Amino acid sequence: MSRTLITGLQLIGNNFSGEGDDTFRAFDPRQQQWLPQEFREATTGEIDAALNLAAKAFPLYKKTTAAQRAAFLEAIADDIVSLGDELINVASAESGLPLPRLQGERDRTTGQLRLFANTIKEGSWVNARINTGTPDVRQMQIPIGVTGIFGASNFPLAFSVAGGDTAAALAAGCPVVFKAHPAHPHTSYLVATAIRKAILRTQMPEGVFSMVHGTSHETGQYLAAHPIVSAIAFTGSFRGGKALYETATRRAVPIPVYAEMGSVNPVFFLPGILREKGPALAMQLLQSVTLGVGQFCTNPGMFITPSEDAAAAFISALQQGIGAMSGGPMLTPGILDAYHNGIRLLQQTGAAVLGAAPDTAQQATPYLLQVSAEKALENPAICHEVFGPSSLHIHAGSIDELYQVARKLEGQLTATIHGTEADLQQHADLVDILREKAGRIIINGFPTGVAVNQSMVHGGPWPATTPAAGTSVGTAAIYRFCRPVCYQDFPAYLLPPELQDSNPMHIWRLVNGDFSNTQK
Amino acid sequence: MSRTLITGLQLIGNNFSGEGDDTFRAFDPRQQQWLPQEFREATTGEIDAALNLAAKAFPLYKKTTAAQRAAFLEAIADDIVSLGDELINVASAESGLPLPRLQGERDRTTGQLRLFANTIKEGSWVNARINTGTPDVRQMQIPIGVTGIFGASNFPLAFSVAGGDTAAALAAGCPVVFKAHPAHPHTSYLVATAIRKAILRTQMPEGVFSMVHGTSHETGQYLAAHPIVSAIAFTGSFRGGKALYETATRRAVPIPVYAEMGSVNPVFFLPGILREKGPALAMQLLQSVTLGVGQFCTNPGMFITPSEDAAAAFISALQQGIGAMSGGPMLTPGILDAYHNGIRLLQQTGAAVLGAAPDTAQQATPYLLQVSAEKALENPAICHEVFGPSSLHIHAGSIDELYQVARKLEGQLTATIHGTEADLQQHADLVDILREKAGRIIINGFPTGVAVNQSMVHGGPWPATTPAAGTSVGTAAIYRFCRPVCYQDFPAYLLPPELQDSNPMHIWRLVNGDFSNTQK
């Protein structure tokens, strides 16, 4: 299956290592079989070795120039591309995701790496601030230290080994010890070899990146508790993120945990637009709910309509449409089980089935469920995320009830409103309410699809993420791995280039309160 | 003593309230007597009432324009000035701080309010980011919600009721429920009346500011645990800050705690500068150590010299100079006791007295203590903060030992290096080590004196503050009370002015990756 020899080992600094005896294998969810390659679980000795190398690398890596780090990120992107079809085939086998989706995800991954490379080459991201006078004080962002980053199951490339978190941390100047997701160890291994090649090629210090395998929570907890680690980034379940948060905040020296823990991403439909184009919106909603077998953090797991009248045609179109939707294999058997259990639980707590696609063995079945706003308001647990291709219709009896649902929402990655101009003008306060609940508000669109650029926010109030003041997608993600430092009365020869009077990088700076990109 | 009637009540919204039966009084540390005015401790009912009003005020307050909030901040500054000498006299009586110091602190306090007013009027602080295309996404900082803010004992104006934290939170758009420090309740009361006047004058929503009194930790814990509170800001002891952090991170919905918990602010002296001007530096160090009876978070509580040879004249000048230093009354009897206990404990753990000023009854005596680097490295507890006019000399036997001390430091608000150009060129790596330990690095100066401007960082790695990515002084302090939100595909009429194509506020924005302050 593979042209690169996949050894199933950890990457500790620039060397592969397999000290432990415990092994695990990946599962092919389409073929419903375990893949033959054995992967070694990392021992604590190997994790220590990775962290010690990272600690040694940090003083060297933080002193690399932005251009050097950019070249490193670009080399990683190039080396990922060089893995060719093998990477895509391997990822597809162990995730069940189709090839075109993974090709797109590879583009996104290399695109992210290049976007961060461009961001640090341009340089203004450091938020340089200069106040001359007595004293002379100059501030900029510096890297926070060694980071522990966790791969997510649902994006084996873009939120994994060389994904957005790794790109942001490396761009900032932080070494990364990466905990690979056990659902895609072949893919992780291949990407780690690409990073290793880039390290050697661009002469980065050994230890700037290591990758360990682990199927147990203990590996992650060990990382979060380790004194060498200065920050954790994680994308996954609420339970997993919360456990890391608890460990990290109870250490002798607490550290930040940037955990993206999912969301139900409520979609609100206002009366006018339902009347105007309910059936068309129904089809778009179904597409968004079932896209990628619903395996997105931004999957619209809940939608709300304001009254029976306005929603009748819309609901009827949904009921007709759902039968034609296709499910598919999910990422892992565990995720598939959790999905169908989640649907059963929803029914037990009082949700009715509004419609479903036909059942297929070993595949997730798309579902629409329904519950009254009254019941949802009584029992907030009914509004928790069910990861997969389903959505829960919250059937409000009136616009007032719709507002009550909005006000009672937990923190979300996204919240969406569909409305005509008249709807939106009349219900501008709904935007206002939802702004307090989510990191991204979408008008007349769907939450799936997360643009990677300067303006994206992929984060939101607890329990969507911790802390709310972060994003794990887009260039602002770099600030999670930084802190500000102030240089007071420094002679020019000790100042970093970003803060020197001559502004050699021509970056934008706040000089005595005014923005400029010239010399001081 | 007072022309404004000081009633000793809480300010709950726009009304004064005294529901509880427990009272306390303030102490005059110069006259060594309790002041007559009784202050009521807040009941949990009063705190609930303040928080409920704040929660009601938030949706209104966040919609005020930047110009309206700026006018509010400026009105607070004006109304503080209008309190005249009474404020200064009252603050002096209950803090023991001299009048000129308090006049300066009042200027700093009103200056901070006006600086934040100017910052939000200018508007670029929101970090607006726009990416046009499909989708169209636009990001800016929004206020986080209701904040609970704690007054510090050592700055009864600048880090208290209308101090930097309150100014930053109100500027961001967050209502404030303020827990007054029980050491200066008269001052707190007067400043609260000024804020109340400003609220009424500028027609801000009731509840945007309330103030409660409390002498027990329970009041603070109640605030930190309350579901209405979205962030905590605190300046004080490590124990106090840590207790709030623990409560806030263990809530059902965790919230950020911005705690400034103090620091020993190490000062490193390199060999060349000691030879060149040891005695002069000794006098400057003594001034910094004893300034304001040492009651600053940035007091240089520790200094390090590299060898006996280089330091001999410096140490001898310190020993001669310390006798002429004057102590003074400390803020509270508890702080005075803790200071002298701290000095005794240091001696018990092996520090020798290098010199001291003459003892004065009921006043803090300036002390210099000394310990070998070897002992300090063995026992890190010896390097903990003793709040008051003392400093611990860490006597390194060699430059290597000095580096070992630097490497072993805990997180600090500041770290300082004194050196000639030759020293600094030779020991540039010391800057590099200290940058990982502190929020502000000072060359050839002293840490006392914290400039309030765009570039200041008053923060640092744990245990100096939590989290390290914050500052409690300077305009960047506003970001502690914000989070980013992304508006996707919004029609113009729903966008905040900061994100509209026409850029009506002419703010600096990152538009498709490029900075500009023109229209899109």
The residue extents of the domains of chain B are 35-126+136-261+471-479, 266-451, 481-516
Q: Compute CA distances A71 → A58, A81, A82, B459, whole Å.
A: 18, 15, 16, 33
Q: Is the pLDDT score of B1 beyond 60?
A: no
Asked if A70 and A41 count as a contact pair (C-beta separation under 8 A), the reply is no
What CATH number does the domain located at A38-124+134-261+471-479 have?
Answer: 3.40.605.10
Quick one: tokens of A517? 């990109």
- Say if the Cβ atoms of A494 and B431 lie within 8 Å: yes
Instruction: Identify the weakest region by mean pLDDT among A46-55, A196-205, A467-476.
Output: A467-476
User: Rounded to an integer, what distance in angstroms lies between the CA atom of residue B120 and that of residue B126?
Assistant: 8
User: Rounded to an integer, what distance in angstroms lies between the CA atom of residue A194 and that of residue A310?
Assistant: 54
Q: What is the pLDDT at residue B91?
A: 98
- Say if the Cβ atoms of A489 and B513 lie within 8 Å: no
Asked if B413 and B385 count as a contact pair (C-beta separation under 8 A), the reply is no
Catalytic residue among A297, A401, A482, A498: A297
Quick one: tokens of B320? 């001669």
- Chain B CB contacts of A408 under 8 Å are none
Region B113-123: mean pLDDT is: 98
User: Which of B170, B195, B174, B207 lies closest to B69 in space, CA to CA?
Assistant: B170
pLDDT band at B401 (very low <50, low <70, confident <90, very high): very high
- Say if the Cβ atoms of A137 and B453 lie within 8 Å: yes
Decide which of 3.40.605.10, 3.10.20.30, 3.40.50.300, 3.30.1330.10 is the CATH code for B35-126+136-261+471-479. 3.40.605.10
Q: What is the pLDDT at residue A461?
A: 97
- Say if the Cβ atoms of B469 and A488 lie within 8 Å: no
Q: What is the mean pLDDT of chain A?
A: 96
The residue count of chain A comes to 520
Asked if B368 and B391 count as a contact pair (C-beta separation under 8 A), the reply is yes
- Chain B CB contacts of A436 under 8 Å are 145
Q: Compute CA distances A207 → A60, B62, B63, B140, whole Å.
A: 10, 46, 49, 36
Comparing alpha-carbon positions, the chain B residue that sits nearest to A475 is B513
> Which of A132, A455, A457 would you mutate first to test chain B, the one with the most B CBs within 10 A?
A455
Comparing alpha-carbon positions, the chain B residue that sits nearest to A116 is B513
Asked if A30 and A98 count as a contact pair (C-beta separation under 8 A), the reply is no
pLDDT band at B280 (very low <50, low <70, confident <90, very high): very high
Q: Catalytic residue at B297?
A: yes
Distance from CA of B101 to the nearest CA of A (A): 19
Percent of chain B topping pLDDT 70: 99
B220 CB-side CA count, 13 A: 26
Residue type, A292: G
Quick one: tokens of A407? 């006000």
Region A460-486: mean pLDDT is: 96
Q: Catalytic residue at B486?
A: no
Strand B146-150 and strand B229-235: pairing? parallel
Same topology, domains A38-124+134-261+471-479 and A266-451? Answer is no
Q: What is the pLDDT at residue B398?
A: 95
Give DSSP secondary structure letters for B465-518: EESSS--SSSGGGGGGGEEEEEEES--GGGS-GGGSTT-TT---EEETTEEESS
Region A343-371: mean pLDDT is: 94
B390 CB-side CA count, 13 A: 30
Region B414-436: mean pLDDT is: 97
Comparing alpha-carbon positions, the chain B residue that sits nearest to A494 is B428
User: Rounded to an integer, what distance in angstroms lies between the CA atom of residue B404 and that of residue B416?
Assistant: 16
pLDDT band at A4 (very low <50, low <70, confident <90, very high): confident
Backbone angles phi, psi at B181, to 5 degrees: -80, 130
Q: What is the pLDDT at residue A102?
A: 98
User: Which of B334, B349, B340, B400 lies closest to B373 in space, CA to CA?
Assistant: B400
- Chain A CB contacts of B484 under 8 Å are 439, 457, 459, 469, 471, 476
| Per-residue pLDDT tens over the stretch A248-267 | 999 999 999 999 998 999 99
Domain B266-451 in CATH 3.10.20.30? no
- Chain A CB contacts of B510 under 8 Å are 454-455
What is the separation, in whole angstroms, between the first and last Cα of chain A?
58
Quick one: tokens of B444? 């050839």
Helices and strands, number each (H, E), in chain B: 15, 24
Q: Compute CA distances B517 → A512, B122, B498, whole Å.
A: 17, 11, 11
Residue type, A97: L
Give DSSP secondary structure letters for B189-217: HHHHHHHHHHHHHTTPPTTSEEEE--SSH
Query: Given B254, B444, B512, which is nearest A489 (Cβ)?
Result: B444
| Coil/strand/helix, residue A503 | coil
Q: Is the pLDDT score of B25 beyond 70?
A: yes
- Chain A CB contacts of B449 under 8 Å are 135
User: Rounded to an integer, what distance in angstroms lies between the CA atom of residue A211 and that of residue A10?
Assistant: 6
Q: What is the pLDDT at residue B262?
A: 87
| Coil/strand/helix, residue B85 | helix
Residue A135 per-residue DSSP state: S
Comparing alpha-carbon positions, the chain B residue that sits nearest to A124 is B515
- Say if the Cβ atoms of B486 and A138 lie within 8 Å: no
pLDDT band at A1 (very low <50, low <70, confident <90, very high): very low
Give DSSP secondary structure letters for B278-322: HHHHHHHHHHHHHGGGG-STT---EEEES-HHHHHHHHHHHHHHH
Q: What is the pLDDT at residue A262?
A: 87
Neighbours of B161 (CB within 10 A): 31
Catalytic residue among B174, B297, B383, B482: B297
> Which of B114, B436, B486 would you mutate first to test chain A, the one with the most A CBs within 10 A?
B486
Asked if B456 and B164 count as a contact pair (C-beta separation under 8 A), the reply is no
Asked if B445 and A489 count as a contact pair (C-beta separation under 8 A), the reply is yes
Q: Residue B136 class from Cβ within 10 Å (0-12 exposed, 13-18 middle, 19+ buried)?
A: middle
Comparing alpha-carbon positions, the chain B residue that sits nearest to A127 is B455
Percent of chain A topping pLDDT 90: 95
The helix (run of H) or strand (run of E) holding residue B232 is: strand B229-235
| Per-residue pLDDT tens over the stretch A270-310 | 999 999 999 999 999 999 999 999 999 999 999 999 988 88
Task: Write the CB contacts of B456 (distance below 8 Å, at least 6 apart in sequence).
Answer: A131, A137, A139, A486, B440, B450, B471, B473, B474, B476
Instruction: Assign residue B329 a region (left: φ > 0; alpha: ψ between -120 and 50; beta: otherwise).
Output: beta
Q: Compute CA distances B38 → A504, B93, B153, whole Å.
A: 61, 15, 19
Please name the residue that has the structure tokens 């602010």.
B265
- Chain A CB contacts of B438 under 8 Å are 485
Neighbours of A216 (CB within 10 A): 12
User: Rounded to an integer, what distance in angstroms lies between the CA atom of residue A369 and that of residue A354?
Assistant: 5
Q: Is the pLDDT score of A458 beyond 70?
A: yes
Task: Write the CB contacts of A57 (distance below 8 Å, at least 6 apart in sequence).
Answer: A175, A204, A205, A206, A207, A208
Percent of chain A topping pLDDT 70: 99
Distance from CA of A501 to the nearest CA of B (A): 15
Instruction: Assign residue A191 a region (left: φ > 0; alpha: ψ between -120 and 50; beta: otherwise).
Output: alpha
Please name the residue that has the structure tokens 């004057």.
B326
User: Rounded to an integer, what distance in angstroms lies between the CA atom of residue B305 and that of residue B274?
Assistant: 9
Q: What is the pLDDT at residue B310?
A: 81
User: Which of B15, B24, B46 lies closest to B193 in space, CA to CA?
Assistant: B15
Q: Is the pLDDT score of A519 beyond 80?
A: no
| Per-residue pLDDT tens over the stretch B75-92 | 999 999 999 999 999 999
User: Rounded to an integer, what distance in angstroms lies between the CA atom of residue A347 and that of residue A5?
Assistant: 47
Q: What is the pLDDT at residue B54?
A: 98
Instruction: Assign residue A292 a region (left: φ > 0; alpha: ψ between -120 and 50; beta: otherwise).
Output: left
Residue type, A438: A
Q: Is the pLDDT score of B2 beyond 60?
A: no
> Which of B455, B505, B515 would you mutate first to test chain A, the one with the most A CBs within 10 A?
B455
- Say if the Cβ atoms of B513 and A454 lie within 8 Å: yes
pLDDT band at A2 (very low <50, low <70, confident <90, very high): very low
E strand segments, B396-467: 412-418, 438-443, 465-466
What is the separation, in whole angstroms, between the first and last Cα of chain B?
58
Q: Is the pLDDT score of B519 beyond 80?
A: no
